[in-house]
Each structure stands twice: as structure tokens, then as C-alpha cells.
Structure 1
């Protein structure tokens, strides 16, 4: 596939240092996309999981090297830490290896819209006030991801094509998970209105989408553990949600869940 030039790339929830990190897919995505701006919207390195045990592969190392190389060659790289790499928030306002670290950031698209970039954990009441519940949920989510990896191997042996997400299925079916997602989105959009921006680009909940909410645009980057999604900005300011490694090629709509969003490469899972 030919390399695509875009204005900006938005990535969140890569979770480097964990077994669930889909570094191979991310590296393939980066090889096919060049940009003027690269925004890392939190939970890039998973210090929570690494405190329980580090799983750092050579491919994950290559991802880090590729980001650093892009920063050296002129790509403007902005890193907004999340709750899993919150230790780096102590360095907000500083630059490391040509990468700027910011608590939040305002990005103006080519068509003049202003977007607030935040990871999103500050709008999650569980993470803010009940950290032990958040940690327990993180362990449970990682278990779902590992089970899903086993199911993917079985599906391949049976000749079943396409990507299926156990974690995504659970989120759609469990009412409390669905309610949590909508409550989170409402809270984030309330914060965006208070900032006077045109929209917000965040991560945190591993649920990629682009949708309009009362005149503002809510964008969630998704993740590179389960759904392998990114947001790209084209040179006309248009935002697109891309899921990397799914067979169907359909444009992302404002309300689609990550499993139904198209991609530009065959399945790699």
C-alpha cells in the first residue's frame, strides 16, 4: 500500500510495556502514514501494568524509536499523558527528545476548528475517586484482551476472517459499561463547552468514535490493545477514524463502534 500523507495523527492508549499492546499493527500503521503533527493522547506507556510485570518487545522499542525519529525530522509531536503514564505529568511544559509534554492542548484544524486534547481520565469519576476500582477494572480488561487473543488464533485456524473484539462485545452488551461510556462522553463534552472550543479529542475508555453532540464534535481515538484505531486529520481539516487491520473498507460514521469502522489493510490479527 502507498504511503498516505495527512496533516495530523492522533493516537491514544497504546499501553507499551504490556502483552496486550498491538505494537506490530501500530508500527505498520505508522509506516503507511506520514504527518505534520503527531499527538499522543495518553496511556502511551503503561506504568500501572509494568509495576506488576514488564513485557517490552523489540517491536515496541521500534515504535518508540520511530516516534523519536519523526520528532527529530520535523514532525511536531505533542504528548498528553494519561492516568497510566501519569508520572510524566510532572514534566508538563517541558520537551524531551523534541517531544513536548503538555497536560492538555488546543489543536486548530486546517478548517479553523479548535479542539481540546485531553486523555480523559480527569472526567472519569471512578479513576479520580476510586483508584482501586480502576486498577481492578484494568486487570479484568487485560484478562479479556488475553482471552480475545486466544479466540483470534482459534478463528484463524477455523478460517474465519475479520476482526472480532471480546472486550468490545462486552461493552456493547453490559448495560453498566454502556452507561459509563455515555456518562464519560457527557462529562467530557461539558468540559469542552466550558473551554469554549469546537470539540474534544480524547482517549481513556478504549471506545473510538467521531460524533456530533449539540453542535460540538466528540472524538475518541480508541486504543492499540483491542481495537487498533487512530484519528487522522486530512489537509482540508476533515477528521477520519481508521481501524487498522480490518478487511472491510467503509468510511467511519459519527456513531459507529470501532468494530464496524473500515481500514485500509487486510486483517493482521
Structure 2
């Protein structure tokens, strides 16, 4: 599961998320909102070829692996309201969904519906979006100079949010309210995005999961065959010796090449099946 890619903005890590998806296959791919940033595209955003490649990768997953894709509406891609719900083959576009696995139920929503600022005071949300866009521009500038000095990536906006008490308080309250909603719906857990803060923890007996984003954190959520969820960070994966999957390479060569890749599966493998690229 991924969320908050914000395609159409300069800060979107479209190239990275496409490379990430090339390494894995899955039975279900959930795009949990803000995949396309309609707010920025209506103002100063622009659509690049790398943004289109993300959807090309998604379509290849549907064609090659018969992946079921669920695209949930976020506040930045609220233009989807005009077509919800929509089902075309293996693609479903929905406002939210219930996901059942290994005897557990999860309520999956982007999360903006629980954000009173975004829901009720849209003009304040737009103003905040302008400030966040500036912060991301500053973040790119900081990391440009860090790369030149051989330093690792540093998320300036995450650092600032962690230092501002009001932001920390808002996030805590946001997570608690989502956990209450999951409990009210009779679910064991809730999965969301929206606040760009990856998380996997328990809140009063409710499993709270947040997939993070592909603007700063570059993170995703994945479930193994036992129903256990884990966060995967793009920066933790070593792509140097893995390259891109080549259909002309033998299965044995591929197995050796990917044997140290972090593996997460949605389904168990048959005993005679080669280790695939599971996400």
C-alpha cells in the first residue's frame, strides 16, 4: 500500500516509487489517496513523463500479475468525487474500503475526512498547502547541498513538524480519532495516509497503520502471508546490484540477484514455486 505520491508536483518522488514497484508483485495494490495532486495541477504544477510512468507501472502489474488495484480518493485528488465509485476490470476507484485478511478487518481511508481544517475550512487548507510547498522547495535546496557534501537525505519538514508542539499534538489527536473510528466500525485496525507520517503501532487495542508518503518519507506498507504488516522504506533497499527485472534472465539468476531483497508477501508460495518479487 502506498499513499501521498502527489504526482504533478516538483516534490513527488515519482521515479523512486516506480522503481520501487518494479521490484515487487502483489495480489492487491492499494493507492490510498493523494496519488495525483489536483490542487497543484490547477495552480502551478505540471505533469511530467515520470508521472505517467507511475501509471504505466501500475497497468503492467495488472496485466502481468493480475494485481487488483484499489485507488482511494484523497483530498488532493478530490476531482475523483465526480466518478465515485468506479470499477473497470481490476481497477476500482473508491472513497474508502474495508479490507479483510487472516481473520482481521481493516478500515482503509485516506484520512482527510477526519481533518476538520481540510473538510470544513478549505481556504485554510489551501493556505497551508502553499506553506508546505515552500517548505518542500527549501527541503530540496538543503538536500542538494547535503548530497554535494556526501551527507544522507534529511527531511526538513519532518524535523520541523517534530519540533512544533502544535503539530505533534495534532498528529496525536488525529491518530487517536482514527483509532476510535475503526473501533466504531467493528474493525481490528485502520490504515490511512494524509499526514505524511509513516506509523505502525497499537492504540488502545486498535492497529493503527499509516503508509507515509512519496514526497519525503518514501515509505509503503506491506502485509505478509500471516497477516502481519510492516513499513518498508525506499532508502533501506539496496538497488545497486538488483537493477530492473528482465524477462530474458533465467529464474535462477533472478533468485540469486534478489535473495537479499526485503520480501513481503500477500500470499503463500507453492512448494515448487520460485521466490517472486513480493510486495
Using structure 2 for the length normalisation, give the TM-score.
Answer: 0.82
Indicate yes or no: 2:83 matched with 1:94.
no
Distance 1:199 1:92 in 2: 24
Please state how far the C-alpha of 1:93 moved relative to its aligned partner.
2.5
1:103 matches 2:98: no
Alignment of 1:141 with 2:139, yes or no, is no
What is the alpha-carbon distance in structure 2 between the residues aligned to residue 210 and residue 44 of structure 1? 21
Matches within 5 A, 1:54-93: 54-73=45-64, 74-93=66-85
Matches within 5 A, 1:1-269: 10-73=1-64, 74-96=66-88, 98-109=90-101, 111-160=102-151, 162-246=152-236
Contact persistence 2:85–2:94 (CA under 8 A): yes
Tell me how far apart the structure 1 counterparts of residues 103 and 153 of structure 2 sit (CA, whole Å): 36
RMSD value over aligned CA atoms? 1.6
d(CA) in 2 for partners of 1:92 and 1:188?
23
Deviations 1:117-137 (A, max 9, x none): 100000001111111111111
Specify the SS of the correspondent of 1:54: coil
Kindly provide the CA deviation profile for residues 35-57 of structure 1, in whole angstroms up to 9, marking residues without a partner as x.
Answer: 11000100010000111123222
**Residue 187 (structure 1) shift:** 1.4
Where 1:79 maps in the other structure, the secondary structure is strand
Distance 2:219 2:194 in 1: 13
Mapped contact 1:81–1:102 kept (Cα < 8 A): yes
C-alpha distance after superposition, 1:203-223 (max 9, x if no partner): 111111000011110001111
Worse overlay, 223-232 or 51-60:
51-60
Q: How many residues are treated as equivalent by the alignment?
A: 239
Q: 1:96 Cα shift?
A: 4.0
Contact kept in structure 1, 2:147 and 2:153, CA below 8 Å: no
Q: Distance in 1 between matches of 2:103 and 2:134?
A: 42
Gaps of 5+ in 1: 1-9, 249-262, 265-269
Cα drift, residue 151 of structure 1? 1.0
SS at match of 1:171: helix
Structure 1: distance between partners of 2:208 and 2:89: 31
1:35 counterpart SS class: coil
Comparing 96-105 and 191-200, the one that deviates more: 96-105
